[in-house]
């Protein structure tokens, strides 16, 4: 069952990395779908799982084209975000809004890292693009996070 969970997460992460590239260029920004997958794992299983899934997701982003920034920067950022979102796990059942807020906070942290690295001369991030990315991603979070959390729970119940 561990193999099913790892394979399923790997496919989800590959889809989250590759799908935004396939979206039409007419959109003002592409959604940051990787944070949704990392958040679902972290909110369901905790900080350690969130950190490990975030690390793997960051490595995928760093290694698959068009990898941007210094090698390992995305991995470190997603590791920290996955671990921080995972700390909310014990409170996630209190309100259906709390997982959305935790994911939104993680997204803000990732976009802030992107803005800081852009200001340092690595990559390019404009304020309007970051704002549109935030908006488009939060719509994706509203639609996908409950589904992915149910999938994570189903994988966990199959032990």
pLDDT in tens, 49-62: 999 999 999 998 88
Which pTM does this prediction carry? Answer: 0.89
- The predicted pLDDT at position 120 comes to 73
The C-alpha torsion from 25 through 104 and 131 to 129, rounded to 10°, is -40
- The predicted pLDDT at position 18 comes to 85
- The predicted pLDDT at position 155 comes to 81
pLDDT band at 92 (very low <50, low <70, confident <90, very high): confident
User: Which of 77-91, 106-120, 121-135 shows the lowest per-residue confidence on average (mean pLDDT)?
Assistant: 121-135
Residue 72 gets the label, from left (phi > 0), alpha (psi -120 to 50) or beta, of left
């Amino acid at each position: 069952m561990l193999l099913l969970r790892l394979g399923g997460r790997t496919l989800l992460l590959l889809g989250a990395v590759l799908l935004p590239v396939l979206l039409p260029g007419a959109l003002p920004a592409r959604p940051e779908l990787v944070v949704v997958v990392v958040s679902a794992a972290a909110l369901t299983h905790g900080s350690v799982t969130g950190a490990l899934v975030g690390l793997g997701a960051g490595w995928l982003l760093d290694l698959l084209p068009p990898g941007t920034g210094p090698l390992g920067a995305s991995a470190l950022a997603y590791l920290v975000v996955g671990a921080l979102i995972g700390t909310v796990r014990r409170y996630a059942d209190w309100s259906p809004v709390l997982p959305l807020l935790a994911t939104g906070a993680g997204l803000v942290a990732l976009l802030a890292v992107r803005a800081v690295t852009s200001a340092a001369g690595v990559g390019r991030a404009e304020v309007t693009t970051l704002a549109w990315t935030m908006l488009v991603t939060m719509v994706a979070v509203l639609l996908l996070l409950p589904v992915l959390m149910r999938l994570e729970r189903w994988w966990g119940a199959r032990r």
